[in-house]
Amino acid sequence: MNAMSRLVLLPCLLVGSVAVRADFLEATGQVTLEAEDYQRNTPAGSENWGAVCDYNPPTQSGDSTMLGTGTSHNSGDLANSPHLEYDIRFTTNGTYTVWAKGDLGTIYVGLDGTRIEGSVDPNGGIDFDEFAPDFHWSAWSDIARAGAAPELTFTISDATPGGTVHTLDVWMRNNNTNVDKLFVTSLGTDPTVAEPTADDPAAGGGTLPTTAAADRTPPGGPFDPADSISLSSCTTGAQLFYTLDGSDPTPDLGNPSTAQYSAPFTLAADGTEVRAIAHLPGGTRNDSGISSGVYTFDQFPVFLGPDIAAISGTEGAAITSVDVSGRFSDPDGDPLTFLWQGAPAGSGLTINPSTGVISGTPTSADTQASPYSTRVFASDPDTATAVSNRFDVIVLLPGEPGFTSSPSIGATPGVIYTYNITSSDTDVGDTLVVTADTLPAWLTLTDGGTGDGSATLSGTPGTGDVGDHDVVLVVTDSGVPTQSDTQSFTITVAEPTVAAVLPGSRSAVVNSPVTAFATIINAGSAPLTGCAIAPTTSVSADFLYQTTDPNTNALTGTANTPVDLGGGDAQSFVFAFTPTLAFAATEISFDFSCDGAGVATEIPGVNTFILSASATPVADIIALAASATPGQVVLSGGAGAFAVATANVGATGTLEVSADTGGAVLPVTLSVCQTDPATSVCINPTVPTASSISVTIPGGETPTFGVFVGSATPIAFDPALNRVFFKVRNQGGEVVASTSVAVSNP
């Protein structure tokens, strides 16, 4: 885990020169632009261009590509399409052809805010779908589709030796359009013959590359004021700066409205415009262009639960009403529109978009697809959406038995697996028996014995059972002749993930985020997908997580996005809580998990997090333990010790410091003292005490402490159980800071 000096994300002032954003220079009759090196990026509501880091098909170049997300737009709807702008300093007059390199979808291009019309197709743009392979050069029109030359052109007639600036415009036509590079030439050069090298946006022919843009998540548009905004750049080590008043941020902080980004932040005012820029210290790159978005307050709909249960029916028999509307709510009181996804084509079941009632008569399409997984979306008028759990629809033929339950397909060595099986039959009076055609040795099937089609599948896999295990269950009725249904699935036994959190506690102020770091480790050899973090303890706070560079703690990736982990690999994260109400200190548990792997075993003090929230500023103590053997104290001669470094990043507070063994009963003696940071000598008190000690810690101070451990009894090395905790309590007796080490006495 990272050193304490890198744990607290605090603003800092830049020292030295700032590499300013420059224009592209056309000096030889052509210029090549990386799509992410824009000067301006303007979203249209929630539709936007966003950088995709490490998008790497064989011919993609640069730090990233630009991905457009939103809806489709015709050529007369550019005002509602997200917009990229590239400033080019032209020194050569002539007629220029525009090429673009990308993947999927279509873009419109223009000059100085006016769309360029194709000479054959006036409504044309540059279409990446008409050519293969992906990430290829193309210029779209009806003629170009037939193999003719590209024909999106513009004329420059006011070029000067010093350069005359014109703006190349790019608008998104289709959702999920991905753009890599743009090429503008008056020389008739064909980039499909020889790949052009990207120029750098530096006036006068400079050669500095550009820092990847400061992307905003979410990008703008409807915004829940309880949520937070995060910033990121595809350039490792980039510093991010932003303003909230519509002015341009300046990395040298010359604009007093500029703030340096350190953690996800909230907005206080409806209609706030966030403008952001990325800067790489050292003067080795130009600053990025300025990205911006306007955020309109809209409290998003929420899925309240309980989870929607599986829907069972029979082909040809009406399902009158399954009302799911009561499981959703909109805090603004906005009306909700419901959408149901997952039903097969030709299904006889639909959802009423106004009432949220699923009904209809199942058809053969439903029977053939059964069971199929579905979910319900509820959207407010601003298109903010809440999503239900996934639930199955099971449709049987008349007289046919069938399973009405869905199995869990993941298991962990040493942890019991249980699947409670249910089934049904449309023939009244038939009894049902569940049997197994295929079953791994570690599982046992027990029929319910009542003839109602219930049974239990259970067992505990061992470490030797890691891998995939096929299961085939059969339910058979008592009809003449008998009928049956088969349920086949695969259970994956995987080593659980391992996780740690640092620091183990924070004390927050309502509506202000606090952050900490976490690491997830894939303890197995097989790769894992969908690795994510979710708190399982309910508190009045919004939560987000995002990947980081473990060497610098710089943000990478996108907020709340699961990642993949290779065998034995680890991924570091930052997570943030933004309290919406005050609450007492609460120990929060997490679901650290990956698809197909067990949830990380909870170890208090290792991967839990103590959080409190106050309406007024309080002491916010970060505590980190340090020992001769990292993470543990091995007693020698029956004695040992570890040091604790603390930092108060909140308000001044008077606190109580003590040590204990948490929930374990261990044969140890414990004592503590405050130490001199320079000499490690006890100063409060001068002799370690078994009692708690009172300390007043001003904001910004970094006091140190010593914890002394003694034992005459052997203590096994069991870091999940045998631990010594250093704890800090407020005047109300709540634990507001904690750190711990494993203890053993060979």
Q: Which fold has domain 401-493?
A: Immunoglobulin-like (2.60.40)
What would the pLDDT profile of 113-152 be if each residue is shown by its tens digit?
Answer: 988 876 444 455 555 544 333 444 443 332 333 344 456 7
Of 119-133, 584-598, 605-619, 641-655, which gets the smallest average pLDDT? 119-133
CATH of 24-185, one of 3.40.50.10210, 2.60.410.10, 2.40.10.10, 2.60.120.1620: 2.60.120.1620
* Contact status, residue 183 vs residue 30, Cβ threshold 8 Å: yes
For residue 596, what are its two tokens?
A: 């197909």
At 416 the pLDDT is: 92
Of 10-24, 282-296, 347-361, 443-457, which gets the smallest average pLDDT? 10-24
Concatenated DSSP letters for 115-158?
EPPPSS-TT--EESTTSSSSSEEE--SHHHHTT-----EEEE--
The percent of residues above 90 in pLDDT, for the chain, comes to 35
- Write phi, then psi, for 368 (nearest 5 degrees): -65, -35
For residue 114, what are its two tokens?
A: 């006016």
Q: Over the chain, what is the mean pLDDT? A: 82
> Which pLDDT band holds residue 19 (cuts at 50, 70, 90)?
very low
> Which pLDDT band holds residue 58 (cuts at 50, 70, 90)?
very low
At 208 the pLDDT is: 57
- Sorted by sequence, the CB contacts under 8 Å of residue 275 that are 6+ apart come out as 242, 243, 246, 247, 248, 249, 290, 291, 292
Of 83-92, 218-227, 353-362, 722-731, which gets the smallest average pLDDT? 218-227
Fold match between 302-396 and 401-493?
yes
pTM above 0.95, yes or no: no
Q: How far apart are CA 330 and CA 212, in angstroms?
A: 37
At 200 the pLDDT is: 52
What would the pLDDT profile of 168-216 be if each residue is shown by its tens digit?
Answer: 998 887 777 778 888 888 888 777 666 676 665 543 333 456 677 777 8
Q: How far apart are CA 421 and CA 46, in angstroms?
A: 44
What would the pLDDT profile of 540-561 be if each residue is shown by its tens digit?
Answer: 888 999 999 888 888 888 888 8
At 309 the pLDDT is: 86
Where does 618-746 sit in CATH, by number? 2.60.40.3880
Tell me the sheet residues that pair with 745.
715
- Sorted by sequence, the CB contacts under 8 Å of residue 514 that are 6+ apart come out as 263, 506, 507, 508, 576, 577, 578, 611, 620
> Which pLDDT band holds residue 74 (cuts at 50, 70, 90)?
low
What would the pLDDT profile of 424-441 be if each residue is shown by its tens digit?
Answer: 887 777 899 999 999 999
- Sorted by sequence, the CB contacts under 8 Å of residue 128 that are 6+ apart come out as 100, 102, 103, 104, 105, 106, 134, 136, 138, 177, 178
Q: Which CATH class is domain 302-396?
A: mainly beta
Dihedral sign, Cα of residue 411, residue 417, residue 420, residue 421: positive
Domain ranges in the chain?
A: 4-17+213-295, 24-185, 302-396, 401-493, 618-746
Q: How far apart are CA 451 and CA 444, in angstroms?
A: 19
At 17 the pLDDT is: 27
At 141 the pLDDT is: 31
For residue 13, what are its two tokens?
A: 């002032």
